[in-house]
Amino acid sequence: MSVKTFLLPDLGEGLTEAELVKWLVAVGDTIVIDQPIAEVETAKSMVEVPSPYAGTVHELHGSVGEMVMVDSPLFSVLEEGAAAPAVHAAAPKASVPEREVAQSYREEERAGAKAPAGEGSGNVLIGYGTPEGLSAKARKRRPRSGAAQAPAPAVHERVAAVEPRRAPLVISPLVRKLARDRGIDIATVSGSGPGGLILRSDIDVAGKSTAASVSVPEPAAVPAASPAAAATAPGELDSRSGLAISSRTPITGVRKTIAQAMARSRTEIPEATVWVDVDATNLLQMRASLKATNPENTPGILAFIARFVVAGLQKYPALNTRIERNGQGDAEIIGFDGINLGIAAQTDRGLMVPAIRNAQRFSARGLNAELARLTEVTRSGKATVAELTSGTFTLNNYGVFGVDGSAAIINYPEVAILGVGRIIDKPWVVGGELAVRKVTELTLAFDHRVCDGATAAGFLRFVADAMENPAAVLADL
């Protein structure tokens, strides 16, 4: 066949579907290898899907706002030099050789993802590539049935015909985007993966060895399309309430992922909650004093609280753990050499929790800068999967919504979450006398399997004391 059909790749992290946000091309457009074709949104992030083929856009499969399943056709390309089909048929099914190609790339990328530490995270989008990059072993595979044998020679002929234009062996849209953002010509990068596969670590190495970096502007952020309300028959009544049903909204994308995670948290985690009121007057006064002398580089209140939380987790590491099953099916508490502090952020796409990785290495100023950066990339839909899934403890500032407290749900699979309420004027006893102070409420929900109340209370009291006497604590950090 002269028409190549691109199947939506496995987008990683066990995701099986993505929402089609925007087509970047139209039928009849001429495209080149690596040109972005569509923007899709998973439950984790927004992703540009580049084309592994050059030619003319033959068909776009799916409409904006539609959910596309992994391994379903996304778009078709009429390769350069090929004659257009006489009849514009329905979306062609991928042939057996094409499916074997896709499977080969999945195996190669997974092999690359198992690289030793220091050679890249392996946390890439998988299942993506061009037939020209197949290993010799993959090219020699037999079709699974006799009926599929006839097209095989044509596949090899096309490979030979385009050999002079052979695309770099890279199967991850994330790796391609990383190279684009750093101004690196991916054709000049040598792959360290199986068969010359280009991994994220290869882009990192190429970036370090490049003297000048070309800045490539990011495409304008496209707000996620809200799930369309399904059509409701006029006059349809709800059998339980007797009221007319006004709409039916499918639970998809981010909302579906949030719902599943929250349900799993409530089902699996026996959580307990402790809380305390805190006099934050001294913390606000200290920050005001710093801001008066250095207005451009003074951390926000949340950054100071984040620093106290990190110090508290170093003192009470049981709250910076995770429970997993070992090979024998027995539960184990997994501890970490470091703290990835998740920060709950409300976005147009829903509640997201990007994490400041190795937060223990940052000062309050450093945490403030990371908070600003992560909030920006998360709200624009450009946070990476690693940033959105690597947290080990979550800090949630729901005070910005004007509430004092909340029975927060633990961000599964973590074991604890600390919430901060609004800071308001309240009567408070200071030195035996009544005074008006700036008071907030801290609430800690924790997994009772990893520790008892004494540990949770000790951590909560440490953070509260640090907020009430910040100068003394910061002097030791």
Instruction: Annotate 371-395 with DSSP letters as a single string.
Output: HHHHHHHHHTT---HHHHH--SEEE
Strands 30-31 and 46-50: unpaired
In this structure, is the dihedral angle defined by the CA atoms of residues 139, 6, 377 and 43, taken in order, positive or negative?
negative
pLDDT at 182: 74
pLDDT at 52: 87
Residue 418 CA: distances (Å) to CA of 117, 305, 349: 31, 10, 22
Task: Compute CA 45 distance to the chain's CA centroid, rounded to the nearest angstrom.
Answer: 5
pLDDT at 34: 84
Class of domain 254-474 (CATH, top level)? alpha beta
In this structure, is the dihedral angle defined by the CA atoms of residues 65, 70, 73 and 74, taken in order, positive or negative?
positive
Short-list 455, 106, 473, 74, CA closest to 308: 473
Catalytic residue among 58, 61, 88, 448: 448
Dist CA 447 CA 268 (whole Å): 10
Check if the beta carbon of residue 395 is closer than 8 Å to that of residue 370. Answer: no
The residues of the chain that CATH labels 2.40.50.100 are 3-208
pLDDT at 356: 97
Strands 73-79 and 67-69: unpaired
Short-list 67, 60, 61, CA closest to 40: 67
In this structure, is the dihedral angle defined by the CA atoms of residues 366, 368, 371 and 377, taken in order, positive or negative?
negative
Task: Render each residue's pLDDT in the chain as its tens digit; 477 residues.
Answer: 478 888 887 765 556 778 888 899 999 899 988 888 888 877 656 778 888 888 899 899 988 888 888 888 989 998 865 555 544 434 444 444 444 444 444 444 444 444 443 333 333 343 344 333 333 333 334 444 444 444 444 444 444 444 444 455 665 666 777 777 777 877 788 888 766 778 777 887 887 665 444 344 444 444 444 444 555 566 788 888 888 888 888 877 767 777 888 888 988 899 999 999 999 999 999 999 999 998 889 999 999 999 999 999 999 999 999 999 888 889 899 999 999 999 998 888 778 899 999 999 999 999 999 999 999 999 888 888 889 889 999 999 999 999 998 888 999 999 999 999 999 999 999 999 999 999 999 999 999 999 999 999 999 999 999 999 998 888 777
Dist CA 107 CA 111 (whole Å): 6
In this structure, is the dihedral angle defined by the CA atoms of residues 178, 182, 184 and 190, taken in order, positive or negative?
negative
How big is the CA angle at 167 (ends 208 and 48), to the nearest 5 degrees?
Answer: 70
pLDDT at 355: 96
Check if the beta carbon of residue 35 is closer than 8 Å to that of residue 378. Answer: no
Residues 3-208, CATH architecture: Beta Barrel (2.40)
Strands 393-397 and 416-420: parallel
DSSP state, residue 212? S
The residues of the chain that CATH labels 3.30.559.10 are 254-474
Residue reference for tokens 């030979």: 160
pLDDT at 7: 87
Dist CA 236 CA 248 (whole Å): 11
Residue reference for tokens 């020699």: 140
Per-residue HEC secondary structure of 264-324 comes to: HHHHHCCEEEEEEEEECHHHHHHHHHHHHHCCCCCCCHHHHHHHHHHHHHHHCHHHCEEEE
Residue 239, burial from CB neighbour count under 10 angstroms (0-12, 13-18, 19+): exposed
Dist CA 261 CA 350 (whole Å): 13
Short-list 93, 78, 193, CA closest to 147: 93
Dist CA 167 CA 172 (whole Å): 13
Residue type present at position 206: A
Residue 448 is among the residues annotated as catalytic for this protein: yes
Dist CA 92 CA 108 (whole Å): 26
